[in-house]
Amino acid sequence: MVASTIKILAEIEGGITTFKALIRHPMETGQREDEKTGKKIPAHFILEVTVEHNGRAVFKALWGTGISANPYLSFKFRGAAVGDSIKLSWVDNKGETDSLLARIVKAD
Amino acid sequence: MPRGSKPPWPEGAFIAHDVDTALQEILGASLNNLAPSNKIKLAIPKTAENGAIVPLTVYADLDGVVSISLLAAKNPHVLTSTYMIPKGTLPYVSTRIKMQKTAVVIAVVKANGKLYSASKRVKVAVGGCS
| Mean pLDDT for the stretch of residues A13-36 | 96
CB neighbour list of residue B62: distance below 8 Å, 6 or more residues apart? B37, B39, B40, B91, B109, B111, B112, B116
> Where in chain A are the domains?
6-106
- Choose, out of A59, A68, A72, the residue to mutate when testing the contact with B (most B CBs < 10 Å): A68
Q: What is the ipTM of this complex?
A: 0.96
| B1 pLDDT more than 60 | no
| Mean pLDDT for the stretch of residues B37-48 | 98
CB neighbour list of residue B56: distance below 8 Å, 6 or more residues apart? B42, B43, B44, B70, B94, B95, B96, B97, B105
Inter-chain touch A78–B128, beta carbons under 8 Å:
no
Q: What's the confidence (pLDDT) of residue A3? A: 83
Task: Select A6-106's CATH number: 3.30.2350.10, 3.40.440.10, 2.60.40.10, 2.60.40.2380.
Answer: 2.60.40.10
Its pTM stands at 0.95
Q: What's the confidence (pLDDT) of residue B16? A: 98
Inter-chain touch A58–B89, beta carbons under 8 Å:
yes
For the segment A72-90, what is each residue's pLDDT rounded down to a tens digit?
999 999 999 999 999 999 9
Q: What's the confidence (pLDDT) of residue B3? A: 60
Domains belonging to chain B, first-starting first, are: 11-126 (2.60.40.2470)
